[in-house]
Amino acid sequence: MVKQLNKEWYRNADEIAAFLSGANPYLKNEDLKNLLYMHLKFVTNDLTASLAKDWNARIVAIDEGVTHIILIADTITAGVIKQFPDKFK
C-alpha cells in the first residue's frame, strides 16, 4: 500500500512539473521535478521523525522543508517574471 501511494505521490509531482513547464518556457520540467522530489523527501523526513517521536529531527525537517518551499516559490516567480516582463516593471 505504501509503495503504491508513494508511486502516486511522485506521479503527481511529475504531472505538476509537466503542467508548469508546459505553461511557462522558462520553467524546465526536469528542474521542477527535482525541486518537487526534494519537497517530497522533506515531507517524508518530517513524517518519519514524527512517527519516531524524534522532535529534534522533525524541527530540522520542517526548517529544511520551509526553506525549500520558498526556493520553489522563488523559482516559479522568476519564471513568471521572465515570461511576462512587462507586467513587472
What pLDDT score does 38 carry? 96
User: Would you place residue 19 in the very low, low, confident or very high pLDDT band (cuts 50, 70, 90)?
Assistant: very high
Q: What is the reported pTM?
A: 0.89
CA dist list (Å): 45 to 7, 8, 24, 27, 74 = 17, 18, 30, 27, 23
Per-residue pLDDT of 27-36, as tens digits, reads: 999 999 999 9
Q: What residues contact 50, with CB distance under 8 A and at least 6 apart?
A: 58
What pLDDT score does 5 carry? 81
More confident position, 12 or 2: 12
Per-residue pLDDT of 50-83, as tens digits, reads: 999 999 999 999 999 999 999 999 999 999 999 9
pLDDT exceeding 70 applies to what percent of the chain?
Answer: 99
Alpha carbon distance, N-terminus to C-terminus of the chain: 50
- pLDDT (average), residues 17-30: 98
- Name the domain count of the chain: 1
Range of the domain at 59: 2-87
